[in-house]
């Protein structure tokens, strides 16, 4: 059994699957991939997690946290780009792990990606519901508390939530869009990307002149301990504070790897996939650093801990930027648009990962059934609509953001390790894009590989996992244990590779 669960899927077999009649339709270009990546990245993380990381961990030094998180994503992104250029099939890190580390590791990654995509989509949809009410408030309208919150939530007036209808609505709407076709989804996403990027740039440009230098002193606070309003302790300031902030704001980068799940629907994946992955990451990293610097300069850390804790960007504009009330309203619209595109790409990525797992027999065939007309995995989309919709409708938003981050970081580590392994086991495979910083050293007749970039990627992602704290480590282990139970109860018996 041991040899079977670590059996690797031949790359040649993967490439043949892209030529089958049941294959996904190729419609995407480098430009649409960049839009897809930016659409996934800019959203809940930037507008929500920035203030949280500043308040709880690093103060103004959250900007450095963004730099560290961006470096970690860049290192992993370089490895993703090599994988995507030589294995242009759906499935992302799951598929890459199957070719390098075997079936059981691939299952672990596939299950791990549920944290990033499905639960992440549900969490963001709940935030979308909250900001929809803020937008409606500008017109003196509001969805009643009981129909915009879960049954586990109670308002300050004692009103019990029943069901979060707006969160369910946005998940339903975007699922229908995905079923209709990825080209249409990409077009809508491109419009959303233009809107929210424009708003982010407007905030940076107009907010720069309202920066109060006092808010940036000291830029790196002295290391102390801080306990938030929920009683959760944090390392604030110093090195540990910055590392903790990097782990928190890493959520803001989640999504660029979702570009790799679209490889099988890309017209020229060997050229376009690296452009899409690295291009979207570069654009967002620059915007993030500037945005964080302006936000922490306009409002103070104490603001983010108290009255400005929720809707922090809107609060900063309305409180410290007189005459820019119109910008606060546009930011609310941009946040809604940003959340929508994040949900769209997360739902997209989840269905494509399970599409690949289903083709391998590790999950039921229904997840790989493709619509005859639209050529999309519509049944998978319907099933995840139910799963994500139930979570969004009846479960409150809590710590899933950190769970999503730690799950994704774990996937990134395995991708970095996978490139190292594949350079040893399959050096002959054509690679349109090669991860830089991998050196070959000859000692007599032996050739030793020194994978500098993959090792740094593992270290950077591991450091951010460390910064998220032991509570999240335990949650990840519990989630992985549940996944292994499912694998040994179903996947290992139905595996097509295992039957060969």
d(CA 260, CA 266): 10
d(CA 77, CA 279): 10
For residue 69, tell me if it sits in a domain. yes
For residue 5, tell me if it sits in a domain. no
Q: For each of the chain's 500 residues, which pLDDT tens digit applies? A: 445 666 777 766 666 655 554 555 666 777 777 877 777 677 667 887 888 889 888 889 999 999 999 889 888 888 887 877 676 665 566 777 777 778 888 888 888 877 778 878 887 888 888 888 878 888 888 899 899 888 877 776 788 889 999 999 999 999 988 887 655 555 666 677 777 788 889 999 999 999 999 999 999 999 888 877 656 677 888 988 999 889 888 878 876 666 666 666 677 766 777 788 778 888 888 899 999 999 999 999 888 888 777 678 888 998 999 998 888 888 888 788 778 877 887 888 788 788 878 888 888 888 888 877 777 788 888 988 998 898 888 877 656 667 778 888 888 898 888 888 888 887 877 777 788 888 877 777 777 888 899 999 999 999 988 888 777 888 888 888 998 898 888 888 888 776 55
List the beta bridge partners of residue 164. 148
* Chain-centroid distance, C-alpha 46: 12
For residue 176, tell me if it sits in a domain. yes
The two structure tokens encoding residue 176: 């229908």
For residue 386, tell me if it sits in a domain. yes
The per-residue pLDDT for 13 is 67
**Strands 224-227 and 233-236, how do they pair?**
antiparallel
Label residues 52-71 b or e (16+ Cβ within 10 Å = b).
bbbbbbbbbbbbbbbbbbbe
The per-residue pLDDT for 294 is 95
For residue 22, tell me if it sits in a domain. no
d(CA 280, CA 41): 8
The per-residue pLDDT for 462 is 92
The per-residue pLDDT for 11 is 67
For residue 355, tell me if it sits in a domain. yes
For residue 391, tell me if it sits in a domain. yes
The per-residue pLDDT for 260 is 63
Total count of domains within the chain: 1
CATH code of the domain in which 257 resides? 1.20.1740.10
The per-residue pLDDT for 17 is 59
State the residue range of the domain holding 80.
33-494
CB 82 within 8 A of CB 419: yes
The per-residue pLDDT for 21 is 45
d(CA 338, CA 203): 15
For residue 458, tell me if it sits in a domain. yes
List the beta bridge partners of residue 447. 442
d(CA 96, CA 257): 12
């Amino acid at each position: 059994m041991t040899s079977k669960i670590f059996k690797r899927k031949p790359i040649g077999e993967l490439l043949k699957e892209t030529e089958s009649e049941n294959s996904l339709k190729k419609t995407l270009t480098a430009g649409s991939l960049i839009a897809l990546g930016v659409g996934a990245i800019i959203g809940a993380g930037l507008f929500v997690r920035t203030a949280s990381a500043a308040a709880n961990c690093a103060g103004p030094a959250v900007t450095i946290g963004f730099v560290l998180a961006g470096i970690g994503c860049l290192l992993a992104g370089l490895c993703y780009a090599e994988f995507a250029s030589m294995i242009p099939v759906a499935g992302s890190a799951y598929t890459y792990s199957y070719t390098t580390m075997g079936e059981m590791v691939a299952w672990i990654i596939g299950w791990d990606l549920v944290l990033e995509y499905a639960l992440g989509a549900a969490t963001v949809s709940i935030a979308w519901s909250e900001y929809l009410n803020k937008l409606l408030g500008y017109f003196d309208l509001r969805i009643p508390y009981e129909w915009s919150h879960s049954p586990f939530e109670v308002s300050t007036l004692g009103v019990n939530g029943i069901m979060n209808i707006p969160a369910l609505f946005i998940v339903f709407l975007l699922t229908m869009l995905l079923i209709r076709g990825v080209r249409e989804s990409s077009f809508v996403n491109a419009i959303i990307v233009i809107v929210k990027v424009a708003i982010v740039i407007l905030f940076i440009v107009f907010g720069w002149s309202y920066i109060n230098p006092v808010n940036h002193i000291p830029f790196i606070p002295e290391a102390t301990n801080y306990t938030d309003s929920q009683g959760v302790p944090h390392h604030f300031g110093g090195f540990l504070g910055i590392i903790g902030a990097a782990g928190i704001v890493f959520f803001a980068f989640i999504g660029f790897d979702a570009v790799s799940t679209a490889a099988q629907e890309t017209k020229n994946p060997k050229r376009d996939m690296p452009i899409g992955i690295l291009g979207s990451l570069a654009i967002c990293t620059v915007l993030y650093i500037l945005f964080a610097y302006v936000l922490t300069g306009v409002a103070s850390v104490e603001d983010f801990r108290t009255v400005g804790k929720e809707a922090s960007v809107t609060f900063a504009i309305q409180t410290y930027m007189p005459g820019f009330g119109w910008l606060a309203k546009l930011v609310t619209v941009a946040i809604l648009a940003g959340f929508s595109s994040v949900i769209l790409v997360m739902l997209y990525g989840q269905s494509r990962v399970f599409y690949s797992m289903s083709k391998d027999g590790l999950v039921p065939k229904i997840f790989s059934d493709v619509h005859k007309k639209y050529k999309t995995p519509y049944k998978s989309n319907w099933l995840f609509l139910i799963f994500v919709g139930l979570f969004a409708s009846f479960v409150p938003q809590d710590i899933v953001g950190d769970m999503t981050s730690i799950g994704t970081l774990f996937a990134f580590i395995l991708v970095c390790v996978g490139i190292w392994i594949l350079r040893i086991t399959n050096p002959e495979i054509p690679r349109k894009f090669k991860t830089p910083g991998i050196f070959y050293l000859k000692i007599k007749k032996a050739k030793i590989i020194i994978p500098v970039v993959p090792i740094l990627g593992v270290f950077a992602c591991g450091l951010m996992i460390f910064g998220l704290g032991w509570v999240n480590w335990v949650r990840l282990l519990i989630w992985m244990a549940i996944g292994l139970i499912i694998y040994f109860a179903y996947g290992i018996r139905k595996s097509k590779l295992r039957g060969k």
